[in-house]
A and B are shown apart, each in its own frame.
Chain A
């Protein structure tokens, strides 16, 4: 886990089931399914009140979806992509009540999207339980053109929209669920440090 003194850098506390909750609404992506399995396996009273949304993504070959189905969940939706998962999540959040606890597990960009969706429905960020699983790849917003570049594992990285070389910072936007990328050579044009693989 990266250590940073930038306060906005998210800290993921782990996917612990809140036994006081009346409803567990869980969004997971890829290897995040393993965190869901670890937290909910063997807990019948929790799984009976759990709705899980799962986008297998790059982990499709591992067949985590079958293991989730075997948990005895109240509801399991296997979604074709993170984007469709977030759309369905928003529909469920729109009619959810205060006894519902939101959980997110997977890569950082995905967790950021789930937390942003929860906050847009008035959920306090501190009450969302999160666990980082899988790649360290980041979603990066170019602060110059505002374009998003997904699955960033190196810094500096070329902005996929405007082509500027971006230094990837730990500065994180909760609203966008994205890290901020700033021009790496604004004061010394032409000088570009070698790209380092930081977030594989």
Chain B
């Protein structure tokens, strides 16, 4: 099926890391060890809400040494369609969820001689896993972690405890910013940069890398988005002959799945390109939220990434 093998899990521990972030420990319901994964990987968590199934991608923080649990970190977002709100309000210890097999779209480059890990806010989750792996391999690395204030640094204390003076913390409330123009120009050849955080921060860091003359091959970013909501619209699947509605709090892909069509997907965060679908016609304006299609492709209106993009208008007809 689309998205690969699913693993039924149970929540075994919940930790309130900051006022807006909870960390969940997940164990397989059959007690089997969870699969090994490489740092930077994520799983798609399926949540059965009262009236629908919500699926969001979350980066894996770590796997317990005996393999019995994974940890994920979930930020309660304000414009949530319900996924992060469901995790924060409905999920308790003992709750049952389903996750996909881990997929890594943000891997470490193993030929790198040094690694700069840069995180903003909840973007720290894959960075945390990468730092653990680099520490195990005794490779040179630095961590730069920007947070709103000390109460919102979900992983600050743990990172400092584990990585010592390799960590630099930046607090927005103290006007501390990551000085890319000082950090990036003098890094040794063979350094790779990985950034995960808010869109504006990612763009600023990558622009700083280019300005310092870094080649594209050494600049890596993960821009996962939870699918944003919007206005409801009518959806027709031309091949399946199904007409349905995409609700305001539903993603296009979730509505397709709710209609019983097994559409392709992988990351559900607008990054991987698996869910690219041909648009037959659109009565309204396509709202492209992904990072996969080129600007030209977006402007052409011929394709849409169903996981994060939607329609602002009356009816969308897809080649599904």
Contact = CB atoms under 8 A, between A and B. Distances in A.
Interface residues of A, number: 20
Contact of B217 (A23, A97, A124): A124
A101 B217 contact: no
A119 interface: yes
A124 B218 CA distance: 8
Given A93-B189, A121-B190, A127-B217, A98 B113 contact: no
Contact of A22 (B185, B191, B216, B218): B185
Tell me what chain A mostly uses at the interface: helix, strand, loop, or mixed.
Answer: loop
Contact of B189 (A18, A20, A96, A126): A96
B214 A99 contact: yes
A127 B218 contact: yes
B112 A122 contact: yes
B212 A99 contact: yes
Contacts of A97: 185-189
A138 to B, nearest CB: 25
Given A20-B210, A98-B184, A119-B111, A124 B215 contact: yes
Query: Which bucket holds chain B's interface residue count?
Result: 20 to 34
Nearest to B111: A122
Interface of B: 109, 111-114, 184-191, 209-218
24 contacts: A18-B215, A20-B210, A20-B211, A21-B215, A95-B188, A96-B188, A97-B185, A97-B186, A98-B189, A98-B209, A98-B213, A98-B214, A99-B185, A99-B214, A119-B111, A121-B113, A122-B111, A122-B112, A122-B114, A122-B188, A122-B189, A124-B218, A127-B215, A127-B218
The 9 closest A-B pairs by CB, nearest first: A122-B190, A99-B213, A127-B215, A124-B217, A22-B213, A122-B113, A96-B189, A21-B213, A98-B187
